[in-house]
Amino acid sequence: MEIRELTKETRDRSIEYAKPKELDRLAASWYQDDLLYSGVGKSIFLIVPTPGCSWALGPSGGCTMCSYISDCYLKPIENDKIIELFEREMDKYDYKADYAEGKPIAIKMFASGSFLNPEEVPIEARDYILKKLASIDEISEIIVESRPEYVSEEDLDEIFNIIGDKLFEISIGLETYNQDTRLNKINKGFSNESFEKAIGIIKNAKSKYNTKSKAYVFVKPILTSEKEAIDEAIETGNYCESIGVDRISCCPATIHKGTLIERLWRRGAYNPPWIWSAVEVINTIRQNVSIPAFMDTSGFGSRRGPYNCKKCNKELKHKIIDSNLDQSLIEHELSVARKEKKSVILLLHFQFQMKKKNLETLCLWLLQS
């Protein structure tokens, strides 16, 4: 069975057995330190409730690793309700106090799909949200996510007609520079050409607007060895800089429920990357490129996420979080292994054959090598 058929079958089964969602509980937010374009400040992370990602709801079944559709309403949502929930989340934070202390403020909006797709976020609701943000002097940066096919000159004209000179970043899930991996292992459904076209539109708009782009890089798709995953993520960072992407955000795989990646994991045919692999990826990308590069730590140290052993999970996670703010290389006892990179990478290439009961032995070996 083809990957797309397996993904669609898995997705349909997940949606069929999903419990009905309470709309009021689908909007969520949090507020934390972040590295903005203007320096270290604070970001509001806000999930906008939507019917769900059109790519996932369509005949493709969506991406092999993503379960965000399971947290969506799966039915049309009235504009007034989207606006109400957006306002509710915005009222939770005292960002004005942080701004008064000199900290820049950004907002990152997640629509579990594409903010620029009117089938997911209706234009009326989109424009209300943008007008609200335009009226808040303290917020200087607005970040949204979108698939590349929804990025257009017309949309940018409409958006900047509302937000004026605020910075507007469009984050796109490129996942990998390798088109074969993206199409046949991730089931992403767009080509390098489509991605490059979207980045080109954003770059060309810089002559008129304060617009930026970010690429998400997925670390360790299915049917990929540990070494292949490391090498591919690093090369994706190089590719992103070469075509004019402004920022990179690496996302190591975690096992989401109701996905093809979970199906393989349950059968022992897949494991998330090691945290050491994430360190190798982000350190090497930061050495190779001149644009900011971030490493997401969601799921680190959990049974379904990147894992080493209990001796170093928490320590490395916090080191990565701190390094995201200052873009430093992650130093650790394993920095000695950087001098023996070939040995470490060779080990990582065969890690997937090891069971979790051997993880502590692995970490001790690395620390002593």
Of 77, 154, 89, give the one whose Cα is nearest residue 121: 77
Strand partners, 171: 145, 214
Per-residue pLDDT of the chain (369 residues; tens, 9 = 90+): 589 999 999 999 998 888 888 999 999 999 999 999 999 999 999 999 999 999 999 999 999 999 998 889 999 999 999 999 999 999 999 999 999 999 999 999 999 999 999 999 999 999 999 999 999 999 999 999 999 999 999 999 999 999 999 999 999 999 999 999 999 999 999 999 999 999 999 999 999 999 999 999 999 999 999 999 999 999 999 999 999 999 999 999 999 999 999 999 999 999 999 999 999 999 999 999 999 999 999 999 999 999 998 888 999 999 999 999 999 999 876 554 454 454 454 455 445 444 443 444 444 444 444
- List Cβ neighbours of 131 (8 Å cut-off, separation of 6 or more): 162
pLDDT for the residue numbered 21: 87
Strand partners, 40: 35
**Cβ(282)–Cβ(248) below 8 Å:** no
What is the CATH number for 295? 3.20.20.70
Number of neighbouring beta carbons within 10 Å of residue 22: 8
pLDDT for the residue numbered 2: 87
> What DSSP assignment string belongs to 1-48?
--HHHHHHHHHHHHHHHPPPPPGGGT-EEEEEEEEETTEEEEEEEEEP
Residue 63: domain span: 3-368
Whole-model pTM? 0.90
Domain count, the chain: 1
**Cβ(51)–Cβ(26) below 8 Å:** no
* 36, 42, 65, 213: CA torsion to nearest 10: -20
**Strand order through the sheet with 167-175:** 28-36, 39-47, 105-110, 139-145, 167-175, 211-219, 247-252, 293-295
**Cβ(73)–Cβ(22) below 8 Å:** no
pLDDT for the residue numbered 353: 45
DSSP 8-state assignment for residue 121? S
What are the structure tokens assigned to 244, written together? 């004019």
Which residue, chain included where needed, has tokens 């617009």? 211
- State whether residue 170 is helix, strand or coil: strand
- List Cβ neighbours of 191 (8 Å cut-off, separation of 6 or more): 179, 183
pLDDT for the residue numbered 334: 56
Dist CA 117 CA 40 (whole Å): 30
Q: What share of the chain is helix, strand, coil (3-state, %, to 5)?
A: 45, 15, 35
- State whether residue 171 is helix, strand or coil: strand
Which element (helix H / strand E) includes 216? strand 211-219
Q: At what angle do helices 313-326 and 275-288 cross, to 10 degrees?
A: 20
